[in-house]
Amino acid sequence: AQSVAQPEDQVNVAEGNPLTVKCTYSVSGNPYLFWYVQYPNRGLQFLLKYITGDNLVKGSYGFEAEFNKSQTSFHLKKPSALVSDSALYFCAVRDRNSGGYQKVTFGTGTKLQVIP
């Protein structure tokens, strides 16, 4: 079975400060890892993914995430937060050995609030 944990329901950060949204995962094999963002009254949008290779992945809107296999983590980061980054962020995982069908498991989401 595969699972994702997002330990923080909400993260508050001042505009201009660095932000981190935490994610840990559990899979039986090797993971594919993702971050999605949901703005108010919108569907989810893809931010970035880790498939293989470099542990530091860069994505949309200046976000990046670091894959840490020993800690089974995939934290989302941004050097300088913007008010427009305020949204709901979801971490997701798929076990590479789960076959050809994209059964992706999502976390419970973390609400990011950037304070002006």
Q: Does residue 103 bind other proteins (CB under 8 A)?
A: yes
Among residues 44, 57, 76, 87, the one that binds other proteins under rule CB under 8 A: 44
Among residues 34, 35, 63, 74, the one that binds other proteins under rule CB under 8 A: 34
In the complex with other proteins, the residue whose CB is nearer, 45 or 80, is: 45
Q: How far is the CB of 116 from other proteins (least distance, A)?
A: 26
Residue among 67, 2, 59, 68 at smallest CA distance from 29: 2
Q: How far is the CB of 90 from other proteins (least distance, A)?
A: 6
CA–CA distance, 65 with 34 (Å, rounded to integer):
9
Among residues 36, 63, 67, 74, the one that binds other proteins under rule CB under 8 A: 36
Half-sphere exposure of 88 (CA within 13 A, CB side): 12
Question: Between the CA of residue 69 and those of 31, 62, 90, 91, 111, what are the distances in Å?
Answer: 9, 23, 19, 15, 25
Q: How far is the CB of 23 from other proteins (least distance, A)?
A: 12
